[in-house]
Amino acid sequence: MGFEVIPAIDVSGGRLASYSPAGPVPESAFDGDPLAAAGDYAAAGARWVHVVDLDLAFDGLARNLDVVRAIVALGVRVQASGGIRTSAHAHAAIGAGASRVVLGSGALRDEAGAFDAIAAFPGRIVVGIDVDGDRIRSRGAAGVDLPLVETLGWLVAGGAPAFLVTAVARVGSLMGPDVAAVKRVIRAGRPVIAAGGISSIEDLGALRASGASGAVVGRAALEGGLDLERALHLGLG
């Protein structure tokens, strides 16, 4: 199985944005145009784009489905993320053309609801785990604070097929991934995609060596600090 390198864009109001604890912040890269960013990633060889709906994450309103549709029309697959907490949210993203949906950590306050979403879209759900030490602490409006190991236990027992592990303290920092956290989640026995702090080819290599199945790269890809084409063509994509 290959190691997927997935460049990411965050979107608010149909424009590029970045996450802050207080809410979305406008992003100047690519003149704020999410299609320009996605097109650049596709030209570099990306097969997937990770699209984070910051409006859904903070306000509970899915205002960016047209962006998903437009990116899908470019010929790349979309992994939709950001505030997806219910089967209805997942259904809307898949209806807009997303190939895969990340069920946000905020969904984990409701075990039955999380299981409903997983069961409703077999093979198309990845469970998001926002890791802060030995806790799961979600970002956005739907805050949860859960024990990591115990939560992984009931998720695996309930059929969670894969996890997206985000190192909360490293989001947007370019300080390197939290490989130790990724390894802790890998022990649960499911494929793991890593996110948070990734800035270099070396970071991606360390994650691949740890056993991760892929990585989501945000700021480093958006600002050009990572040679995305090289990452995607070194057997990492």
Instruction: Please state, in angstroms and rounded to a whole number, the distance separating the CA atoms of residues 60 and 53.
Output: 10
* Catalytic residue positions, numbered: 10, 130
| Contacts (Cβ under 8 Å, ≥6 apart) of 209 | none
- Is residue 164 a contact partner of residue 81, using CB atoms and an 8 Å limit? yes
Cα Rg for the chain, rounded, in angstroms?
16
3-class secondary structure per residue, 147-190: EHHHHHHHHHHCCCCCEEEEEHHHCCCCCCCCHHHHHHHHCCCC
